[in-house]
A and B are shown apart, each in its own frame.
Chain A
Amino acid sequence: MKVEERPPAPQPPAEVPPPRVDWAEQARRFGFQLLAPFASLVLAAILGVLVVLVVQRSWADVADVASAMWDYGLMNPSSLAFIFGRATPFIFAGLAVAIGFKAGLFNIGVEGQYAMGALTAAVVGSKLSGPTAVHLPLTILAGMAGGLAWALVPALLKVYRGAHEVISTIMMNYLANGVLLFLLSGALKDPDQVGSIAQQRTAPVDPSAQVGSMVGFFNSLGFSFRSSAPVTWFFLLALVAAVIYSLTVRRTRFGFELRVIGTNPRAAEPAGIRTNAMFMKAMLLSGAVAGLAGLQDVLGIDDFMKLDYVRGYGFIGIAIALLGRNSGLGIVAAALLFAYLDRASSGIGLSTDVPKEVTYILQGVIILTIVIAYELVRRYLARRQLRETHERA
């Protein structure tokens, strides 16, 4: 019998000098990456001016809009509170979409997932009571579970039936509307809501599951927010979530595997990554984070879930993930920008003759131009790198 040949003993790797980090090059690259969002903001501003000019035919209105966006949008003593409060759901929604993007999944279902999360949180928050230390975390987890459950169907369809998640998540959004209508006008409707102006909504959330305002905290730092300003401790939670997201994606095995199936799914399986299991996990995690987006409204502002809840976080989340390039910091920055546009929009509505919906156009233009701008920057950098490699050779 032939003796099996032994593999040669592994050689100690030759001394390789650690690659020198070229900080100037890194800074230049970062600068180029910033160029894209900057260019798209400038373009959006120019188009905004054009739209105002076309609609109103006067430069005075342009000046009015600009001063409303500056004075009311940013400089009013409470402006920042509104911006932080508004950014909170945007951050959660942006993170949810970004988790999907990282895995190469397009979760357009955030819209339905946060609605279901808000509903389950409202139910757990209103039907149970107990010490806040138990009840509040439980309610938040219930919200995440609601979002996760709504992401389960598209995840299963994707993994077991190969159905693309885009259509299935959108169908789940419409289905969420049906389920909400069914439950909020029936089984879950607040029995105290009777009469002609009855709202279709759940019973109020028990105080033990309500989240407090952050105004006191900010004012102790020297701000002078008005006491009713809608910023709650969920803002802090959103920032923490963004940090956890960044660390997970960059520093953990899970984050690495997520990026592998996102960038090259065919390389994942030979590398020992179970693609389907990862798709499943990514989709469910995305849904769970989406479940957090509606919670500030339910547990901090309205204290109940209603049929005409605030819609659109899911779609804004897509814009924010794109604008923020799926990075934790970028998503927070993009969410603050969109929250600011919202605030500025109210200002335009209050003090000018221009319809405040002009900011919708800004949002749309930003999304469209940002993807093109990023693509152009990417191509330019790739071409430059190719040239440098050629020169070195």
Chain B
Amino acid sequence: MPEIVTQLIGIATIAAAVRAFVPLFLATLGALFNERSGVVNIGIDGMMIFGTWFGAWGALRFGAAAGLLVAVLAGTLVALIHAVATVTFRVDQIVSGVAINVLALGIPRFLSIVAYGQGTQSPAVLQLPKIDVPGLGEMSPLVPFTLLLGVAAWYVMNRTVFGLRLRSSGENPRAAESLGVRVVAVRYAGVLISGAFAGLAGAYLSVEFVGQYNEGMNQGRGFIALAALILGNWTVVGSALASLLFGWTQALTVYLEVSWINDAFIQSLPYIATLVVLALFFRRVRPPKAVGQAYEAGAPV
């Protein structure tokens, strides 16, 4: 096999793509829940960043598995801020999301200084025992777990009463409420689930992927996840495929070495891919109809 093909689709690249796929897919699933409920969550990137910090901190204090749990709780708590601001106070959803992202720039650094005496990284953490995936080598047990979560998310979204209520709140909240759906509660649930996924996605990065917390390690994955959601047309299966595509471009930043393409360009591949996806697909997809619109329960039409 020629070198370039190995670099593009060799075992090492595919394995790296799968590892990069996990946080993207988890975050995309989270974004799927809040957007289908009708709330935009730009702050998912910030929630992931909190997840990276609390994942590592929890893993240092209580062990890897507990670290993941701590990160899920932290992500959910941050999401609660977003839910209170957007669903209860009906603040502009993008403004609130950006505010959370700004919080995520400063607070983890403060916490690092308090916890570790320096602002930008944590000590190395113990990881979960690796499992052997045939064909791809050693992987974090979170990889199959993420796939299971994907299946569960598909089932909840498409086969349960809660999923139907969630989707109807994002499509036509007024009609949903007239049929007895408590739109405010459902949207709270959508945003909190999103935060839980984002926290887990962040914790995977720090605990399982890298093995420590580094400032800025999230590298905008939350925003790439939002693009994956668009490319996946707000469906679980589409999100999985889109996340895999973006994961692959991230793997290429490590494994692709072409003499006539500059490294800086290859490093930028995930972001360029996102822009291309926006340019090509944004018109062809169908977002939830009421996404981004505040909803006032019982207000006159």
- Chain A residues within CB distance 8 Å of chain B: 55, 106, 108, 153, 157, 161-164, 166-168, 170-175, 177-179, 181-182, 185-186, 312, 315, 318-319, 322, 355, 357-358, 360-361, 363-364, 367-368, 371-372, 375-376
Q: How far is the CA of A363 from the CA of B119 in the complex (A)?
A: 17
Tell me if B107 and A171 are in contact (CB < 8 A): no
Residue in B closest to A160 when the chains form the complex, CB atoms:
B279
**10 sampled A-B residue pairs with Cβ under 8 A:** A163-B278, A171-B220, A171-B227, A178-B268, A178-B271, A312-B105, A361-B106, A364-B99, A368-B85, A372-B89
Q: Is B90 an interface residue (CB 8 A)?
A: yes
Q: Given A168-B278, A178-B264, are A371 and B105 neighbors across the interface (CB < 8 Å)?
A: no
Q: How far is the CA of A130 from the CA of B100 in the complex (A)?
A: 46
Q: How far is the CA of A174 from the CA of B280 in the complex (A)?
A: 20
Tell me if B103 and A364 are in contact (CB < 8 A): yes
Which of A179, A181, A185 is packed against the most chain B CB atoms within 10 Å? Answer: A181
Tell me if B268 and A174 are in contact (CB < 8 A): yes
Q: How far is the CA of A157 from the CA of B109 in the complex (A)?
A: 34
Residue in B closest to A173 when the chains form the complex, CB atoms:
B220
Q: Is B275 an interface residue (CB 8 A)?
A: yes
Residue in A closest to B105 when the chains form the complex, CB atoms:
A315
Tell me if B106 and A368 are in contact (CB < 8 A): no
Tell me if B98 and A364 are in contact (CB < 8 A): no
Q: Is B258 an interface residue (CB 8 A)?
A: no
Q: How far is the CA of A371 from the CA of B90 in the complex (A)?
A: 10
List residues of chain A with CB within 8 A of the CB of B275: 153, 157, 168, 171-172, 175
Tell me if A170 and B220 are in contact (CB < 8 A): yes
Q: B281 to chain A: closest CB distance in Å?
A: 9
Q: How far is the CA of A188 from the CA of B109 in the complex (A)?
A: 32
Q: Is B92 an interface residue (CB 8 A)?
A: yes
Residues 229-279 of B contacting A (Cβ, < 8 Å): 230, 262, 264-265, 267-268, 270-272, 274-275, 278-279
Q: B135 to chain A: closest CB distance in Å?
A: 32
Q: Given A179-B264, A360-B105, A371-B92, are A157 and B278 neighbors across the interface (CB < 8 Å)?
A: yes
Inter-chain pairs besides A55-B114, A174-B220, A361-B110, 20 sampled, C-beta below 8 Å: A106-B94, A157-B278, A162-B283, A163-B278, A167-B227, A172-B275, A174-B219, A174-B271, A175-B272, A178-B268, A182-B264, A318-B98, A318-B102, A322-B99, A355-B119, A357-B110, A360-B107, A368-B103, A375-B90, A376-B89
List residues of chain B with CB within 8 A of the CB of A182: 262, 264-265
Q: How far is the CA of A186 from the CA of B39 in the complex (A)?
A: 44
B78-119 Cβ-contact flags toward A at 8 Å (1 or 0): 000100010001111011101111110111011001100001
Tell me if B85 and A357 are in contact (CB < 8 A): no
**3 closest Cβ pairs, A-B complex:** A360-B106, A178-B268, A182-B264
Q: Is B201 an interface residue (CB 8 A)?
A: no
Q: How far is the CA of A360 from the CA of B215 in the complex (A)?
A: 15
Tell me if A368 and B98 are in contact (CB < 8 A): no
Q: Is B42 an interface residue (CB 8 A)?
A: yes
Q: B162 to chain A: closest CB distance in Å?
A: 28
Residue in B closest to A168 when the chains form the complex, CB atoms:
B278
Q: Is B59 an interface residue (CB 8 A)?
A: no
Tell me if A371 and B96 are in contact (CB < 8 A): yes
The answer, among B81, B89, B279, for a CB contact under 8 Å with A161, is: B279
Q: Given A355-B114, A375-B90, are A161 and B278 neighbors across the interface (CB < 8 Å)?
A: yes
Residue in A closest to B220 when the chains form the complex, CB atoms:
A174
List residues of chain B with CB within 8 A of the CB of A108: 98
The answer, among A153, A175, A318, A357, for a CB contact under 8 Å with B106, is: A357
List residues of chain A with CB within 8 A of the CB of B106: 357, 360-361, 363-364
Tell me if B110 and A358 are in contact (CB < 8 A): yes
Q: How far is the CA of A372 from the CA of B294 in the complex (A)?
A: 14
Q: B228 to chain A: closest CB distance in Å?
A: 10
Q: Is B145 an interface residue (CB 8 A)?
A: no
Residues 32-68 of B contacting A (Cβ, < 8 Å): 42
Q: How far is the CA of A311 from the CA of B182 in the complex (A)?
A: 43
Q: Is B223 an interface residue (CB 8 A)?
A: yes
Tell me if A371 and B265 are in contact (CB < 8 A): no
Tell me if B267 and A178 are in contact (CB < 8 A): yes
List residues of chain B with CB within 8 A of the CB of A315: 98, 101-102, 105
Which of B95, B96, B100, B280 is packed against the most chain A CB atoms within 10 Å? Answer: B95
Tell me if A157 and B220 are in contact (CB < 8 A): no
Tell me if A161 and B283 are in contact (CB < 8 A): yes
Q: How far is the CA of A322 from the CA of B267 in the complex (A)?
A: 33
Residue in B closest to A186 when the chains form the complex, CB atoms:
B262
Q: Is B200 an interface residue (CB 8 A)?
A: no
Tell me if B85 and A371 are in contact (CB < 8 A): yes
Q: B120 to chain A: closest CB distance in Å?
A: 11
Q: Is B282 an interface residue (CB 8 A)?
A: yes
The answer, among A157, A319, A367, A371, for a CB contact under 8 Å with B279, is: A157
Q: Given A106-B94, A355-B114, A360-B109, are A170 and B223 neighbors across the interface (CB < 8 Å)?
A: yes
Tell me if B119 and A357 are in contact (CB < 8 A): yes
Residue in A closest to B270 when the chains form the complex, CB atoms:
A174
Q: How far is the CA of A319 from the CA of B100 in the complex (A)?
A: 11
Residue in A closest to B222 when the chains form the complex, CB atoms:
A170
Residue in B closest to A55 when the chains form the complex, CB atoms:
B114
Tell me if A319 and B102 are in contact (CB < 8 A): yes
List residues of chain B with CB within 8 A of the CB of A322: 95, 99
List residues of chain A with CB within 8 A of the CB of B219: 174
List residues of chain A with CB within 8 A of the CB of B119: 355, 357
Q: Is B205 an interface residue (CB 8 A)?
A: no
Q: How far is the CA of A355 from the CA of B265 in the complex (A)?
A: 37
List residues of chain B with CB within 8 A of the CB of A178: 264-265, 267-268, 271
Q: How far is the CA of A319 from the CA of B103 in the complex (A)?
A: 11
List residues of chain B with CB within 8 A of the CB of A106: 94, 98
Tell me if A175 and B271 are in contact (CB < 8 A): yes
Q: A362 to chain B: closest CB distance in Å?
A: 9
Q: B76 to chain A: closest CB distance in Å?
A: 17
